[in-house]
Each structure stands twice: as structure tokens, then as C-alpha cells.
Structure 1
Amino acid sequence: MKLAIMQPYFLPYIGYFQLIAAVDDFIVYDNIKYTKKGWINRNRMLVNGQDSVFSLPIKKASDSLDVRARCLADDFSPDKLLAQFKGAYSRAPFFLDTFSLLESILLNDERNLFDYIFASIVQICKHLGIKTKIHISSAIDIDHQLKGQEKVLELCKAMGAATYINTSGGMALYSPDDFGNRGVDLKFIKSTSLEYPQLGLPFIPWLSIIDVLMFNSPDKVREYIFTHYELI
């Protein structure tokens, strides 16, 4: 069985979904600290030919709290965020279908940050035809006080994983020998070059998956998801 584990990210770039599609089971961390400068609750869209950050506003709380203990701000307006996407992408060729997906994601009544983002990940995977089983980390019976590589290895053991796949950005974090000694083959996924028309403007790569969906047919996006990467 092939396993991957990642933090929750809101409407992340295509590489996140390539990682999910490359494995049999995917674990989303809910019992990790929320980081203000990270990408858990924000990403980038295309606005007038430039990349622009969009985000989910978070209710003020202690920085020591896990993601699962954080909530969306009371003044969060899904309609305002939808209007941003509409203004940015109304002329995109696949706007109608993608905007319908966005409405179903953003109009979720859930206000817990993790649950809101987790639901969006599951919904996008369904939309893309990704059949991978998706799990929540805290529901898996391990010692959750473990950190870093040791926690990953324990999750691999609990799930019965023969292969663990991580993004190529994590190559410095994990030891192939340590994984091999536990009977786990360590692999890294790297997205290959991807470019598509963006309203006739100079291409800006690695925006939110929503950008890919706005400018490409569902079949083309699935092709990108399932084939436009390499394992190293």
C-alpha cells in the first residue's frame, strides 16, 4: 500500500492533488499547530495577469492551538470570496462548472477551520475522479506526541504502508535508510512543467487548483493530475 501525509491546505496547487492521486491512502494532519505564515488557509489566484493571495479569515485564538481547534472568523463572507473569484475568472473557458464547484465548497456552513478545509479537499478529489481513501491523522491509533520522521514512520506502520511518498520539498527531512530499516520504501513526487493559456497573458505557474480548473477541461485536468509528475 502506498501512503502520503500532508497538512490541510485551502484550494492548494495541483501538486497536492497529484500526491493524493499517486497513493492508495492519504492522511491529512489535523493535530498540528496552525502557522500564521503558512498556506493552510490561503493560496493564490490570477487577477489581471498577476498572482494575488486569497485567504480564509481566522478567529483570533492562542497560537498554541492545533488546526482542528481553530475556527473561521465570524465576519467571514463566502459571498465576498466568490465575488473575487468571479471577477478574476468570469472570462475563463470553464468558469461556469468551476464556479459551481466553488459555490458548493465555500457555502459550506461548517466553521471549524480543519473541517472546512478537509471537506473542500474531499469535494475537489470527487470532482477530479480521485479515488484515494482520505483519513484524518488524529483518528489513527499512534502516539501523537511523536514528531517529524518518527511520527510519519509510526503512521506508516499503523496503516500498513509499504511505500511512503512525500513532496520533493521534503527530501532533506527524511532518511531513505531509516524508512528502509522499517520496511518502507521512501519516494518523492515532483510535478513536471505545466503551462496552459491564461486569457492570453504571460503564464503564472503553481496557482490554486481553481486556476487549472478554470482554464482546462475536466479531462485535461485529470490528465495533468494522474500523469504530470515523476517519482524519484
Structure 2
Amino acid sequence: MIVSIHQPDYLPWLGLYYKMAHSDIFVYLDDAQYSNTADHNVNKIKTSQGEFRLKVPVEQHLGDLICNVRTKDELGWKKKHLKTIRMNYSKAAYFDDVYPHFQKIIMDHSGTIADLNIAINEYICAGFGIDVKVVKSSELDIKTVRETRVIDICLQLGADEYLSGNGARAYQVESHFADRGLKLSYLKYKPISYKQLWPKVGFLPCMSAIDYVFNCGFDWSYVEQQVNMLNG
């Protein structure tokens, strides 16, 4: 059984959904410490001027866990984000199909940034037809840290393989996983090309997955096909 783990980020790229699609269980590392340099409350969309960062204001203090960080809804960010998305994607092929559902998720949200991100991901996963069991690390009561914690989460869930993001190659040691009966594998996702608006800007890779969904709908078979081609 394959387990993958990732912190809950705002409007993540397609690579996260590819990781989820290739896992049996996906764990939101929602009780990790909040980082101002991560994508917990920010991500990129494409506009006529190039990429644009959407950032959710949060109430955060040093040492707070992601699952305890509240979105500052009183600042009116919801209407601003939705207006920006509508301005830049209203001419996209699937805008009318997707936007009302996305708008409802944003406007109905009240709580933490983790709750918001997970709700968005649930909608996108359902659209893509990604059937993966989802678990929150905050529900597992595991107190270890770093690599050991990843291993402990996998073993508690009954995994025999951990599917990791490539950024962790720099600090993960394969033998540490093997010694505890886990196979360590790495995600083979590569950014794909697809139809985008604003062709004069050129193709921009690694945008939020909503860029793909507004332009191409929930065509997950295309994503799999293109990644397979890129991987040879």
C-alpha cells in the first residue's frame, strides 16, 4: 500500500493531484509548523500580464501549526480573489462549469487555512475522479519529527511504500526507510503543457491546478497521458 504526505497548500499545482492519484492513502500534514515561505496561503494563476500570486491573509504567530491558523476573512480577501479569478478566466472553456462551485467553497469557508485548502482539494479530486483515502496527521497523535515522523505515519497506516516529493531527496535516507520495511519512491511527475489563455504571454508551467481546470476541465486522462510521454 502506497502512502504519500503533503502539507495542505492553497490552490496547489497539478503535481499534488498526480501524487494523490498514485497513492492509496494521502496524508495532510496539517499539524506541521506554519511557514511564511511555503504555499499554505499563496499560489499562482496566469493573467494577461503573466503570473499573479493570490495570497490569503492569515492570523499567524511564530510556532503555530497549520491546522490552527485562521484565515482573516474580515479583510475581504474572498471577493478580491474571486474577482481576480473571474477577470482572468471568464473566457476559459470550462469557466461556467467550474466557477460557481469554486465560488461556493470560498464563500462558505469559515475557519482555518488548512480547512479551506482541504475543501478545495476535495472538490478538485472529485472532479478528476481521484479516489484516494485522505487522512489528517493531526488525527494520528504521532509526536516524532522530520524523517522519523514520515516513517511512523506510514507504518501506522499500514504502508509498505512511501511516495515522496522530489524536494525531499536532499535529506531523506533510503536505508532509514528500508530498515523499517518501507520502500522509498519518488514522484515522477513533470509539468505538462496544455491550452492556456493569453497565448502572447507564452505557456506558463506550474500554475495552480485551477488554471488547468478552467481551461481543460477535469480531463485527468490527458494529464496521465502527457506525464507518461514526458517520462518516456
What is the TM-score normalised by the length of structure 2? Answer: 0.91
For the residue of structure 1 that corresponds to 2:138, the secondary structure is helix
Which residue of structure 2 aligns with residue 31 of structure 1?
A: 31
Q: How does 1:138-217 map to 2 (within 5 A)?
A: 138-142=138-142, 144=143, 146-199=144-197, 200-201=199-200, 202-217=202-217
Which residue of structure 2 aligns with residue 54 of structure 1?
A: 54
Q: How does 1:59-208 map to 2 (within 5 A)?
A: 59=59, 61-73=60-72, 74-142=74-142, 144=143, 146-199=144-197, 200-201=199-200, 202-208=202-208
The CA deviation at 1:29 is 1.0
The CA deviation at 1:164 is 0.3
The CA deviation at 1:173 is 2.0
Which structure shows the bigger proportion of residues in helix conformation?
2
For the residue of structure 1 that corresponds to 2:134, the secondary structure is strand
In structure 1, give the amino acid aligned to 2:164. N
- List runs of 5+ in structure 2 lacking aligned partners: none
CA distance in 2, matches of 1:135, 1:107: 24
CA distance in 2, matches of 1:62, 1:148: 21
CA distance in 1, matches of 2:34, 2:225: 30
The CA deviation at 1:49 is 4.3
The total of aligned residue pairs comes to: 227
- List runs of 5+ in structure 1 lacking aligned partners: none
Tell me, yes or no, if the aligned pair for 1:46 and 1:207 is still in contact at 8 Å: yes
What is the TM-score normalised by the length of structure 1? Answer: 0.91
In structure 2, give the amino acid aligned to 1:186. L
Identity of counterpart residues, as a percentage?
24
Q: Provide the aligned C-alpha RMSD in A.
A: 1.8
